[in-house]
Structure 1
């Protein structure tokens, strides 16, 4: 008991704050992701699986680079990701290991989404801390033009075919774009976040002020060229589907009990420089952006 004139000693809780519990969970999830990738690579080394890599030798080193490519290159656009196109004829063990990697990636992605929504500053700390939990992944990159952790490249899933495939047809998809519908008020808020004293921003604010408040607008983001795979199944699936199309930024794992690759084509070495798909007759956006700084377009009048 504290005597007269003495203050009671305060008990300081050593329990981590919620944000650091989240960081600890993220670190554990990252550890599990690396472990699952290593287990998949070990199984691949012991399997008779055939593999094919686009513009590369389909070796164990190639698959390791593809699965553990978690890094930005110096000067890389933050929105861009590296691509490792290929095919792996996977037996049951490899398919199971690939599913376990994807489950670990999904867990990691879920924690990142929670942090991004509730504790955004923690992302910077995570990018700084995570690489050093596995120095064997980080040390060999020094001097190789690689820099910080690229979180999207950590959690993007390995493409997997859900049933045996008779043939795969690969093709560049270079005409993609995402379109986000916005209100005039939404666009005004985005413009005001720019340098509102800049002449070009003031001009665009005046243009926007001349629109009816209820006119819908569209913000357009052109997507980088990507490789798509059209899969033709050996037999129809239970829902009757005989084919499927998917993006393949990572090696595509296809079920193959005998370890044999399905028939596949060799796509061009680079995406087309001009639009190869016909312009949609019902395309509703104007040809030129209404607000260039935000890539905002008006819809065509009916």
Structure 2
């Protein structure tokens, strides 16, 4: 039975979601009336579309596709020359995303995970005129990461943008031998390959630091060169762009952008650092743990 507090949180979630959808719809309607200059990376080898069509797809893509990995998000790499009105609308979308994310966090803290799943599943089933066009059959599953990831907003006019794929990134987490042992214990400890890794771990000094390495998906990196230095003195800024980047443009023109390849390179394009302190081969493959070089 649903409690009054659960119903109140459900209502708060629905209101936050509808407000987010309304802010996106307002921005898209503005772009329909006043199409900005826009550059975008063609997706799936397709032909470039109008600014309005591309932006609408990028901002309303908040649903899982069949078979999609829940950790993966779809990228929409593009640069939008935004006047003052469009910049304000983009900021409003981000406020809606931030508020929706805050409500999700509140629900996760207050309720069991299955209640959030039920609330999320109910969102597209409501007869809402605001978001009816956001899913094909009303049975789509909401992708929370794609809901609250923000559009990118440059803080000042940009002279030029240098775009390049970054396809060799990795995240590194420092572990102790005890941490690695706990991770191995979560696997099938009766399996031969896990037993072998236990023996390898037991042979290490108990105070030896280890590194857990996770290869990251390719991403587009943008280097922004500002017309004037920012308040902190910087005239250049690097950022990863997986969502449209709105740049202030009083004259409505795009800054100069190079044309990167439509897909990341299949092989490593940069030489491996000679001073890397982490072994190339994992010491404990099942948990992606490497040893440091000394």
TM-score by length of 2: 0.89
Q: Is residue 293 from structure 1 mapped to residue 290 from structure 2 by the alignment?
A: no
Question: For the Cα contact (< 8 Å) 1:164–1:233, is it kept in 2?
Answer: yes
Task: Encode CA deviations 1:191-235: one digit per residue, 9 max, x unaligned.
Answer: 222222222222222222222222222111111111111111111
Residue 14 of structure 1 deviates from its aligned partner by 8.5
Map 1:83-102 → 2, pairs under 5 A:
83-102=75-94
C-alpha distance in 2, partners of 1:90/1:131? 31
Residue 140 of structure 1 deviates from its aligned partner by 5.2
- Candidates 112, 122, 130, aligned match of 1:129: 122
Task: Encode CA deviations 1:36-77: one digit per residue, 9 max, x unaligned.
Answer: 111111122222521122122233121111001112222222
Question: For the Cα contact (< 8 Å) 1:50–1:260, is it kept in 2?
Answer: yes
Residue 170 of structure 1 deviates from its aligned partner by 1.1
Q: Is residue 79 from structure 1 mapped to residue 71 from structure 2 by the alignment?
A: yes
Aligned-CA RMSD value: 2.2
Task: Encode CA deviations 1:158-213: one digit per residue, 9 max, x unaligned.
Answer: 01111001111111110111111122222222222222222222222222222222
Structure 2 partner of 1:282: 275
Task: Give the 3 Å change call, closer, same or farther, for CA 109–288 of structure 1 in structure 2.
Answer: same
Structure 2 partner of 1:108: 100
Number of aligned pairs?
Answer: 284
Task: Give the 3 Å change call, closer, same or farther, for CA 261–293 of structure 1 in structure 2.
Answer: same
Task: Give the 3 Å change call, closer, same or farther, for CA 16–197 of structure 1 in structure 2.
Answer: farther
Residue 285 of structure 1 deviates from its aligned partner by 0.8
- Candidates 135, 138, 141, aligned match of 2:135: 138
Task: Give the 3 Å change call, closer, same or farther, for CA 131–218 of structure 1 in structure 2.
Answer: farther
Structure 2 partner of 1:214: 207
Task: Give the 3 Å change call, closer, same or farther, for CA 73–283 of structure 1 in structure 2.
Answer: same
Larger-gyration structure (1/2): 1
Structure 1 partner of 2:245: 252
Task: Give the 3 Å change call, closer, same or farther, for CA 222–23 of structure 1 in structure 2.
Answer: farther
Question: For the Cα contact (< 8 Å) 1:165–1:262, is it kept in 2?
Answer: yes
Map 1:116-265 → 2, pairs under 5 A:
116-117=108-109, 119-133=112-126, 134-139=131-136, 148-265=141-258
Q: Is residue 49 from structure 1 mapped to residue 42 from structure 2 by the alignment?
A: no
Structure 2 partner of 1:36: 23
Residue 102 of structure 1 deviates from its aligned partner by 0.8
Long gaps (5+) in structure 2: 43-47
Instruction: Please give the secondary structure, in 2, of the residue aligned with 1:190.
Output: helix
Instruction: Please give the secondary structure, in 2, of the residue aligned with 1:148.
Output: coil
Question: For the Cα contact (< 8 Å) 1:132–1:138, is it kept in 2?
Answer: no
Question: For the Cα contact (< 8 Å) 1:52–1:58, is it kept in 2?
Answer: no
Residue 27 of structure 1 deviates from its aligned partner by 2.5
Residue 156 of structure 1 deviates from its aligned partner by 0.7
- Candidates 58, 61, 65, aligned match of 1:69: 61
Task: Encode CA deviations 1:111-154: one digit per residue, 9 max, x unaligned.
Answer: 33344455333342243222324333223588xxxx53221111
